[in-house]
Amino acid sequence: MELGKNFIGGHWVEAASGETFASVNPANGEVVGMAPRSAAEDVDRAVDAARMAFPAWRRTPAPARGEIVLAIARAIEKEKESLARLMTREMGKVLAEARGDVQEAIDVAHYFAGEGRRLFGYTTPSELPGKACLTMRDPVGVVAAITAWNFPVAVPSWKMMPALVAGNTVVFKPASEAAIVAAALVRVMAEAGLPPGVVNLVLGPGDPVGETLATHPGVNAVSFTGSTPTGVRLAARAALANKRISLEMGGKNAVIVMDDADLDLAVDGIIWSAYGTTGQRCTSCSRVIVHRAVEAALIDRLVKRIRLLKLGNGLDPSVDVGPVINLRQLEKIDEYVRVGKSEGAKLLIGGERALDGELAQGTFYKPTLFAGVLPNMRIAREEIFGPVLSVISVASLDEAITVNNDTDYGLSSSIYTGNVNNAFFAMREITTGIVYVNAGTIGAEVHLPFGGTRGTGNGHREVGTAALDFCTEWKSAYIDFSGKLQRAQIDNR
């Protein structure tokens, strides 16, 4: 059994209260580790440590900060397998995906290490003689990183690596369901050479830990990944404190399959997007919008492939689909399946908890497929966050795009087509933050901005150079070497 602790000011410590909670493997009920059940007092200590470390870290040259982030990348790489196995035990995703999760953190760290030498501003001519104009980036201060359990190494890295290379200090609050692997990640980062207080870890429930961070006067910016209701609530509270906040929230992502699509390729992408990570990604495909000319053929292929999916413990290399994160989420998924049937959708396969043999020890739900789904049904509009896929039939590309865009979310979309005109038309008309052509709805790369529209986010983007915009302030500098008073907009007219 692993032991997690808070990491504050360079020291591993228990919660002030001494209380703990168990982190449990959803595949079999095994207690993976114990973690501190922190409260507001622990948040205060972590924020104080981050604020104390900020002046020196801010003044550390950006290339030197980048060298430390590069050392973190190399350290995570050495621990890739141990982190991946711990992740699978704690939150259930299959081992191949867990390795990919850790690899994404490695890639992010490598990418932002380079930004230590590329924190570019720009120079521009002045409208006045004997005067120069330039811009530079300043760190915002203390950044709170509040993350979900489904990508417990990659997503924290999305938030921490750009913040660190830009000169900020961090207080990291992971989801309780991934507390132990979060502690392991921070241990690797600290041992790679981070000065004390630059990264701090506080484990415990969203209320009070996350809620306190969102309103703490010592926190300058909050980067949140989680559900839309929680994110909106935190944003409202942060706004009252005039605090910068980035929200990465829900999705209701769709794959469009046109009548000229390669159906076998489309099925590959749909199965991976809908049932990878047991449908528990913000980018998971939960809707297939198919041209009615190929609807029957596509459904036939999907049902055959779903029957072949193997459920089980993600450490077994033959397993395709792991458990749902916990019983509460499993019950939510099952309730949505009942809603879908009551709305008149046709359940083709799945639709129930998996209780065969060892599966009964965990929270497994059979991969589920509905046909005959209408765009206004709840299962077509609300985020389920599980292995439930709905097929919606349309008559044209225009109708497909209308259905695709008509949701409260706007993260990821995909279109399968053999027509280049269809592809470019869809890229122009789809109103999600990410669009794939002849690929599924998942598979973002770290050098492109990640984020969505509408209820998925609030306009900020993660990874890529866009991530730096959230964790830095632009500063404009004017240098007058004319030796006299010059008044912009007055003396040059």
Residues tagged active-site: 248, 282
What are the strands of the beta sheet with 2-3, ordered from one edge? 2-3, 31-36, 20-24
Total length of the chain: 493
Return the closest-CA partner of residue 40 out of 220, 230, 204, 237.
204
Residue (of 442, 491, 415, 459) closest to 129 by Cα position:
491
Strands (E), 56-178: 123-125, 131-139, 142-146, 169-173
Distance CA(288)–CA(286), nearest Å, equals 7
Phi first, then psi: what are they for 463, rounded to 5°? 50, 175
Strand order in the sheet with 434-437: 346-349, 368-371, 388-394, 285-291, 253-257, 412-416, 434-437
- The 10 Å Cβ neighbour count of residue 64 is 9
What is the spatial distance between Cα 393 and Cα 297, in angstroms, rounded to a whole number?
Answer: 12
466 Cβ contact list (under 8 Å, min separation 6): 449, 451, 460
